[in-house]
Amino acid sequence: MNMNKDREVQATNVEKSVWGPASGWGVMIGVALAFYGLYSIVLLVKGLIWGEVSVRFDFLDSGVSSLDLGGTSASLSGITEVTVPTAALSPEAMTFLIIAKLVFALTLIGSAIVLVPVIKGISKGDPFTDRSLKTFSILSWVVSIGFVIFVIATVLGSNLASRDLGIADEVGASTSLAQLYLYLGISGGIELLRRSFVSGRRAQEELEGLV
């Protein structure tokens, strides 16, 4: 009797874990990624319509410009996003900048689409499926490929933009260790989720074997 009660309690706990907050976070993550990707595309199109584009520059300590803050000047230093007229940039610079922004947005949207099987599995009460486990591997590839293309296009675009604006000697690379750490953190989080799903599937199989 006690063993049967324990099994019922375990089954109830599994069901609660599936239908509880887990089903909510999956939907929220997918929707957030998709909407932010679409929002990035809207900002890009809006900027192109107004004839301007944002560029990330890594200003050196010396700075090449200053800001007037209520009578106090402040020099630009470090990685800063600057909005410049598209007419001041060459076609190749604009091409790489647009590619970088599109790849960023499409990576977010692609990640949201890839997560659909996981979200469906959670909503159906059966999250630990082969398809869900494969989804995390695909998601890792999507994020990795998107990150590599984004970094290459961003570096090339910002370097060409700094050349066009005549500030090539005053700025450095537009990428930073923070972006690398962010990528490693996201990749590590995906791998952690994958291993969690693998452990969850093993626990589910063991529970089904006991019942």
| 44: amino acid identity, one letter | L
Residue 120: predicted pLDDT: 74
What are the helix (H) ranges across 20-129? 21-49, 91-114, 116-123
Using one digit for the tens of pLDDT, what is the confidence trace for 73-107?
Answer: 666 677 778 888 999 999 999 999 999 999 999 99
What is the residue-wise DSSP string for 149-206?
HHHHHHHHHHHHHHHHHT-TTTEE-S--HHHHHHHHHHHHHHHHHHHHHHHHHHHHHH
Give the residue with greater pLDDT, 173 vs 136: 136
| pLDDT tens digits for range 38-69 | 999 999 999 999 999 988 887 776 555 566 55
| pLDDT value for 18 | 42
Percent of the chain, pLDDT > 90?
Answer: 17
Q: Give 109: exposed, middle or buried? Use CB within 10 Å, 0-12, 13-18, 19+.
A: middle
pTM (two decimals):
0.73
Q: How far apart are CA 202 and CA 66, in angstroms?
A: 59
